[in-house]
Amino acid sequence: MAAQPDIPMRQRVEEYISKLQDDIVSALEKLDPNAPTFKRDSWLRAQGGRGLSCVFAVPVPPPGVAQQETVLEKAGVNISVVHGMLPPPAIKQMRADHSSIPDIQSSVPFFAAGISLVIHPRNPHAPTVHANYRYFEITETPTEEEQAAGKSGKVIAWWFGGGGDLTPSYLYEEDAIHFHRTLKAACDPHGAAVYPTFKKWCDEYFHITHRGEARGIGGIFFDDLCEDPHRRFAPDDSRPKTAEDIFAFVKAAGDAFVPSYVPILERRMRTPSDDHERRWQLLRRGRYVEFNLVYDRGTKFGLMTPGARIESILMSLPETARWEYMSELGTDPESREGKLVEVLKNPREWV
Amino acid sequence: MAAQPDIPMRQRVEEYISKLQDDIVSALEKLDPNAPTFKRDSWLRAQGGRGLSCVFAVPVPPPGVAQQETVLEKAGVNISVVHGMLPPPAIKQMRADHSSIPDIQSSVPFFAAGISLVIHPRNPHAPTVHANYRYFEITETPTEEEQAAGKSGKVIAWWFGGGGDLTPSYLYEEDAIHFHRTLKAACDPHGAAVYPTFKKWCDEYFHITHRGEARGIGGIFFDDLCEDPHRRFAPDDSRPKTAEDIFAFVKAAGDAFVPSYVPILERRMRTPSDDHERRWQLLRRGRYVEFNLVYDRGTKFGLMTPGARIESILMSLPETARWEYMSELGTDPESREGKLVEVLKNPREWV
């Protein structure tokens, strides 16, 4: 891939995530042409930056009118591009994973751009999916010349993070294999160590510790990917190392989202289902809420950030979730529910 | 009140919470005699201790059969009595609030007994309620003589904590006043500073910071109540100070639970309601989940404790909760939903 040294990475990332958001929303809208379109909701951040949330929800009908049947129940495909000043404690914390960040005692400018999506389909046989790709940059305070030219300061440190993972209520092995195989095919050209490393990281990250089970059947997860040595890779592992290589990998993973998920959704979205299956789906959505509110770093960080846009952060929560005390669903290992739980307790290699 | 110096406090607390649990479950069962009874579920903790969970849930009916109409939707009235060894980091943390705890470098025995209850009624006009009273004790390792006699070691430090709070979906001012007035009447004989101090603490504690609103309309909340000076009280504040006085106060507050809540439930449990009101109730339940999973210290501590009984800890979550992106419900200050939100954003003095 040819480098574009004259266009700053932050701008290229912003363009890429905008296009990816468009592609994903279009693919989902095409799938269910009679459903309401995604609501486009753009916002500005007072402290610097902007976002575009594309959210799907079916309006609650007036009394006596049945709810429209749609493929999706609730979905959000959001991008945000924010910048501001990073205080010294935050910098200190980041130095653990980024040896290139100097030990600075004053606030420094940061830039963050990312796409984040969660799709909860209505049908209990169709899995929920989540994906998220982001770029982070710390710069020097711009010189007077740079400021006059509308430019940011010299980049001190940068990294990419992200991933995608699938959360079914009922296990269809061919779906799990398709999802992992598509992600692996996107990763492999960027280094043999990429998929195995990020697949393992995903299983570890999306873990509901208090339940002793994974949130779903995994996918890939990565963070802190830059030119520095990386704690998850051995020095001679084959993986993207330059900014160009890493951005190319992130784009390949992002581009793999639609082919990794939409064929599964098409396959399952019309499967006949009953109240029992819906109940189990809502119990699994309860676990989704537990993971997102108790463990997810992005959600926790978002909720603790003054001025953060709560509606965008909690967009990931399902429309409805359910909790039963000592539910019998999923406890029989021979049941269809139990077969999912077995895989969540013992993550598998799918490809 | 006469002291009972020959019976250890831990035993008296255990007897009291067992009786209180019985009284509360009986009062709730009497209220809806045709409903299924509470399920009694006793358990043992491998590391020491036991519990009795009394949980109400309506079994999910077979396909085609309508769900039985009941006053309660989901409820739990749980007691637990556990003991074990407390590691030095936990002791260190507790010393901040308990000057009587010495700076110990080794693990010490602890004992904890408490009652915890959450009641989610079905009717959107009937409020959810939560209460919790607990006793904590740190002792010396028993001497050989004490061990032979089946006794615990000398008490190094002890304290009581607890409270009760109300979470309506629709605001009925007379309910809020009744709830607070009943708790205040239980507090007042134990010191003029008790109710105002614990009312304020409750408003501060049950705060969903990321939403800028309270979980409900408050009640009382307290912790670390013992003979030591207390950070929430001035030295000359009128409040219970001896173990006997504090236990008498805790019993008065516990005994006030049924009269503070059951009359409200009786008043609201048959109010006609529609889908719109149900939808708002489920959105409020979503906020309840947010508070419990993101902020509640008891829940967080429980989830992080290896060997903890997750089903008992998460019993507090509602049967169903709902999240809508940018919901319009509650945003109109003139609507009934908006009137609740107004009180949640600006806690009131109810008595």
The string of pLDDT tens digits covering residues A311-323 is 999 999 999 999 9
Judge whether A282 is closer than 8 Å to chain B, CB to CB: yes
Contacts A–B by Cβ distance under 8 A: 91
pLDDT at res. A88: 85
Q: Distance from A222 to chain B by nearest Cα, in Å?
A: 24
Residues of A within 8 A of B323 (CB-CB) are 74, 314, 317-319
Percentage of residues in chain A having pLDDT higher than 70: 99
ipTM score: 0.93
pLDDT at res. B1: 44
Q: Distance from B153 to chain A by nearest Cα, in Å?
A: 32
pLDDT at res. A328: 94
Would the CB atoms of B320 and A317 count as touching at under 8 Å?
no
Would the CB atoms of B323 and A310 count as touching at under 8 Å?
no
Q: Distance from B285 to chain A by nearest Cα, in Å?
A: 10
Judge whether A65 is closer than 8 Å to chain B, CB to CB: no
Confidence of residue B4 (pLDDT cuts 50, 70, 90): low
Residue A345 has pLDDT above 90, yes or no: yes
Element containing residue A105 per DSSP (H, E): none
Would the CB atoms of B317 and A303 count as touching at under 8 Å?
no
Residues of A within 8 A of B211 (CB-CB) are 310
Mean pLDDT of A131-158: 91
pLDDT at res. A334: 97
Of A119-123, B61-65, B69-73, B142-146, the least confident: B61-65
Mean pLDDT of B15-31: 98
Residues of A within 8 A of B326 (CB-CB) are 41, 55, 311
- Contact by Cβ (8 Å): A289, A314: no
The average confidence (pLDDT) of chain B is 93
Q: What is the pLDDT of residues B291-334, one digit of tens each?
A: 999 999 989 888 887 778 899 999 999 999 999 999 999 999 99
Q: Pick from A275, A308, A325: which is nearest to B55 by CB? A: A325
Q: Pick from A76, A294, A308: which is nearest to B303 by CB? A: A294
Residue A21 has pLDDT above 70, yes or no: yes
Q: Distance from A312 to chain B by nearest Cα, in Å?
A: 8
pLDDT at res. A4: 58
Which B residues, 119 through 178, put their C-beta within 8 Å of a C-beta on chain A?
A: none
Say which residue the tokens 């990281």 belong to: A201
Exactly one of A83, A120, A125, A130 is catalytic; name it. A130
Residues of B within 8 A of A76 (CB-CB) are 325
Which residue is closest to A318 within chain B, CA to CA?
B323
Confidence of residue A1 (pLDDT cuts 50, 70, 90): very low
Give the Cα separation of A154 and B99 in Å (integer).
52
- Contact by Cβ (8 Å): B320, A282: yes
Judge whether B321 is closer than 8 Å to chain A, CB to CB: yes
Judge whether B345 is closer than 8 Å to chain A, CB to CB: no
Task: State how far Cα A214 lies from the chain centre.
Answer: 16
Higher pLDDT among residues B75 and A141, named by residue: B75
Q: Distance from B209 to chain A by nearest Cα, in Å?
A: 8
Judge whether B36 is closer than 8 Å to chain A, CB to CB: no
Higher pLDDT among residues B92 and B310, named by residue: B310
Domains of chain B: 9-59+69-345 (3.40.1500.10)
pLDDT at res. B5: 60
Mean pLDDT of B34-62: 91
Residues of B within 8 A of A293 (CB-CB) are 289-290, 293-294
The average confidence (pLDDT) of chain A is 93
Judge whether A63 is closer than 8 Å to chain B, CB to CB: yes
Would the CB atoms of B279 and A60 count as touching at under 8 Å?
yes
Give the Cα separation of B347 and B125 in Å (integer).
20
Residue A270 has pLDDT above 90, yes or no: yes
Element containing residue A342 per DSSP (H, E): helix A336-345
Q: Pick from A55, A63, A325: which is nearest to B57 by CB? A: A325
- Contact by Cβ (8 Å): B294, A303: yes
Say which residue the tokens 């129940």 belong to: A73
Judge whether A278 is closer than 8 Å to chain B, CB to CB: no
Higher pLDDT among residues B106 and B170, named by residue: B170
Confidence of residue B244 (pLDDT cuts 50, 70, 90): very high
Give the Cα separation of B298 and B115 in Å (integer).
12
Q: Pick from A55, A210, A320: which is nearest to B320 by CB? A: A320
DSSP state of A207: E
The amino acid that residue B112 corresponds to is: A
Annotate B118-140 with b (16+ C-beta within 10 A) or e (fewer). bbbbbbbbbbbbbbbbbbbbbbe
pLDDT at res. B321: 98
Residue B2 has pLDDT above 60, yes or no: no
Residue B201 φ then ψ, to 5° = -60, -40
Interface test with A, best of B288, B311, B325, B329 (most A CBs within 10 A): B325
Q: What is the pLDDT of residues A284-293, one digit of tens each?
A: 999 999 999 9
